[in-house]
Amino acid sequence: MIGICVPFVAGYFFVIRGGMPVATKGEPLPLEKFVANKALHAAIDKEAGKPAPISADESNLLIGARIYQEQCAVCHGHLGRPSSAIARGLFPKPPQLLPPMKGVTDDPVGEIYWKVKNGIRLTGMPGYVDSISDTEIWQVSLFLLHANELPASVQRVLRP
Ligand code: HEC
């Protein structure tokens, strides 16, 4: 009984005495990254294999790029610009998703789609399910998947 209670009591005192890092500058807790990654993948893996119901043609990539510029670039980066104050101040940091960074170009498109649709709790990543249409979520997901091989017309949308 005591063996079970001690870790809970210790955890409680750790939290109420201010031991828990709550500022964005704090380091992750031991195991925090591991648990967060495991939980995320356990939730996503069932759906990650979903193929995109639309093709990655130029018109879909163009719409994806416009959505990205409007909704995502403030956190995930504008082409050729240093990361924004918002991106620098978040914990965890939003990964920069445009070249020369690899971004999510080697992830399954279904996984990108899941993250954009549902967001990632307790991070700055919003879920877009109530804000943009399902087709638009696929368009921006395909855009990110092909971020390292975009046609010139799409690259122009990304330049200031
Ligand atoms: C307010 C900031 C913010 C905005 C706006 C935002 N994101 Fe994110 N996003 C994040 C953060 C923070 C993470 C990292 C979450 C984590 O560490 O688990 C993230 C993670 C992601 C990932 C997973 C990256 C990876 O390496 O697996 C994708 C994909 C993504 N965002 C796409 C988008 C798209 C598309 C949009 C716009 C429609 C968008 N995000 C808008 C903050 C943001």
Q: Which domain holds residue 109?
A: 58-158
Mean pLDDT of 8-25: 88
Look at residue 110 and tell me if it is in a domain: yes
- What confidence tens digit (pLDDT) does each residue in 31-56 have? 888 999 999 999 999 888 989 999 99
Checking if the pLDDT of 97 tops 80, the result is yes
Q: How confident is the model at residue 27 (pLDDT cuts 50, 70, 90)?
A: confident
Cβ of 127 closer than 6 Å to ligand 1, yes or no, is no
Please count the structural domains in the chain: 1
Residue 33 lies in a domain: no
Indicate whether 3 belongs to any domain: no
Q: How far is the CA of 3 from the centre of ligand 1 (A)?
A: 40
Three-state SS letters, 9-61: HHHHHHHHCCCCCCCCCCCCCCCHHHHHHHHHHHHHHHHHCCCCCCCCCHHHH
In the reported structure, the alpha carbon of residue 91 is separated from the centroid of ligand 1 by a whole-number distance in angstroms of 12
What predicted TM-score, i.e. pTM, was given to this entire model? 0.94
Question: Which CATH number does the domain housing residue 111 bear?
Answer: 1.10.760.10
Structural domain contains residue 73: yes
Taking CA atoms only, the protein residue closest to ligand 1 atom 8 is 125
What's the rounded Cα separation, in Å, for the pair 143 and 160? 18
